[in-house]
Amino acid sequence: RFGIKTQYKQLWVRNLKLSDAGVYTCEYGSHKVRTSLHIFKLMISLDGHFLQNEVPELILMQNSSSPLPDLRITLFDSNNNRVTPEFQNKSRQKYVVNLKKLEAMDSGTWVCQVHSDSPLIDQNIPFAVKVLGFQNPDLERKYATVDSTVILSWRLNSQQIKWKEGFTGQLNWKQEKSANPHELLDFNVTEQGQLHETKKSSNFLFEIPERKPESTIEVKLPKVHFNYSGQYQCQLEYQGRHVQSKIELVVMKVSAKPVGPLSRGANMTLTCQVSGPLPPNAYLRWERVNGTKEDIKNSEQNEVKLEVNISAAGLWSCHLIEDSDRKISFHYQIEEAAVWTNYVIIGASVGGSLLVFALGCLCIISGTSWQRRRQRAKRMAQARQYLLENKMCQCQQ
């Protein structure tokens, strides 16, 4: 590992080790020149390959012939932001620090700055950090209406950081936190960084889009059902470690009671319902397009169902609003019953009332006639009884 270039009076030392630290003397005749070599060794856990949310451990070691100086360590991430480390062990020979939880955007070249006043040391030590993870938010929420088409997408950063080591993953879905997950697809990456996906579930109606950006996991729900709601979790696995990203799918449906055209003077109940709990800053709203303020109704906090009683036909819309932003809207057209239909309904009502009145009158007449016949029969029976009694009296005389 040592070589001498006599022309330049240089000593070359390759593949430095901590044990190479010390004082080197160059003698030329009666002349002697001494040079002190101070060596640093920087090591990062997992060889610099991390998953999202993992915390790297950084070890800095030093060696020299003179007493070891007390070092000041400053760290900068790949975006040149200063990082405050957490020291686990601090001796003059060995410094062990923990960095922050990593995110996908932290991939790149970090810098460890080493400072000392005596002896004077000002050294920058670069080191590489690769973070494999998702570019999605921690918990993404997606809204959809019944019978619409939804594409759920997870964006990986494996292409950006040129991650060619093999990793695998799977996509699971479950409606509730306590429910058993349903495995939808498996995927893996080749040495060239290409993703291959395999559909696992045959009972769930979803598709794998063919055209999509590299390092993207997608599922397409061509016709959303109300019970398709829940958590869709994409999980990566690399060397026995895991990282996951979730998308919460919330589905909206609208129904009317009774169903059909709205007659004049009649009422109808419209119901708007979402499949899962809403965040505190979200609510439902019913309103009639081109209507008045009286046609607007908002849900209370934590309500997942909103009903409104209407008497006016037209286009009614249910909105899901989050932070003053309309996430989804469901439009429901209420037709007004035709005039002849109203007349038929009115006629049927009047006819029904007349029929009921006629039946009532017939019942009254029948009842009165029956009562009269009963009274007449009673009087005749009393008369016969009277005549029989009189005849008996005459016979006795």
Q: Residues 336-349: what's their mean pLDDT?
A: 54
Q: Give the end of a domain, one of 186, 218, 251.
A: 251
CB neighbour list of residue 233: distance below 8 Å, 6 or more residues apart: 171, 172, 173, 174, 181, 244, 245, 246, 247
Q: What is the pLDDT, as a whole number, of residue 266? A: 87
Reported as a single tens digit per residue, the pLDDT across 251-279 is 999 999 988 788 878 899 999 999 988 98
Question: Does residue 225 share a domain with residue 146?
Answer: yes
Q: Residues 76-102: what's their mean pLDDT?
A: 90
**81 falls within a domain:** yes
The SS3 call for residue 297 is strand
Place of tokens 């101070």: 38
Place of tokens 């286009």: 315
Confidence of residue 169 (pLDDT cuts 50, 70, 90): very high
- The answer to whether residues 183 and 120 touch, using CB atoms and an 8 Å cutoff, is no
Q: What is the pLDDT, as a whole number, of residue 397? A: 43
CB atoms within 10 A of CB 144: 20
Domain count, the chain: 3
CA–CA dist 259, 268 (Å, integer)? 8
Per the model's pLDDT, the better-predicted residue between 258 and 344 turns out to be: 258
Q: Give the end of a domain, one of 234, 251, 268.
A: 251
Confidence of residue 177 (pLDDT cuts 50, 70, 90): confident
C-alpha distances in Å from residue 204, one per residue of 87, 148, 172, 199, 200: 50, 16, 11, 10, 10
CATH of the domain at 165: 2.60.40.10
**366 falls within a domain:** no
- Say yes or no to pLDDT of 9 above 70: yes
Question: Does residue 107 share a domain with residue 146?
Answer: no
Q: Which residues pair with 31 in a beta bridge?
A: 28
Per the model's pLDDT, the better-predicted residue between 390 and 336 turns out to be: 336
Confidence of residue 393 (pLDDT cuts 50, 70, 90): very low
The SS3 call for residue 391 is helix
CB atoms within 10 A of CB 154: 24
The SS3 call for residue 327 is strand
CB neighbour list of residue 248: distance below 8 Å, 6 or more residues apart: 139, 140, 141, 142, 230, 231, 232, 276
Question: Does residue 159 share a domain with residue 70?
Answer: no
Question: Does residue 236 share a domain with residue 210?
Answer: yes
Here the tokens at position 23 are 């004082």
| Average pLDDT along the chain | 86
Question: Does residue 126 share a domain with residue 26?
Answer: yes
Question: Does residue 283 share a domain with residue 227?
Answer: no
Q: What is the pLDDT, as a whole number, of residue 195? A: 85
Q: What is the pLDDT, as a whole number, of residue 89? A: 79
Residue 156 DSSP class? B
Question: Does residue 243 share a domain with residue 151?
Answer: yes
Question: Does residue 242 share a domain with residue 202?
Answer: yes
CB neighbour list of residue 220: distance below 8 Å, 6 or more residues apart: 149, 150, 151, 152, 206, 207, 208, 209
C-alpha distances in Å from residue 310, one per residue of 56, 283, 343, 358: 60, 20, 21, 35
**269 falls within a domain:** yes
**349 falls within a domain:** no
**173 falls within a domain:** yes
Question: Does residue 126 share a domain with residue 65?
Answer: yes
**384 falls within a domain:** no
- Say yes or no to pLDDT of 300 above 80: yes
Q: What is the pLDDT, as a whole number, of residue 345? A: 46
Question: Does residue 31 share a domain with residue 94?
Answer: yes
Place of tokens 């003397």: 25
Here the tokens at position 262 are 């709205």
**303 falls within a domain:** yes
CA–CA dist 220, 384 (Å, integer)? 96
**280 falls within a domain:** yes
Question: Does residue 237 share a domain with residue 214?
Answer: yes
Q: What is the pLDDT, as a whole number, of residue 186? A: 94
Domain that holds residue 293: 258-334
3-state percent breakdown (helix, strand, coil) of the chain, nearest 5: 20, 45, 35
Q: Give the end of a domain, one of 314, 334, 354.
A: 334
Question: Does residue 262 share a domain with residue 220?
Answer: no
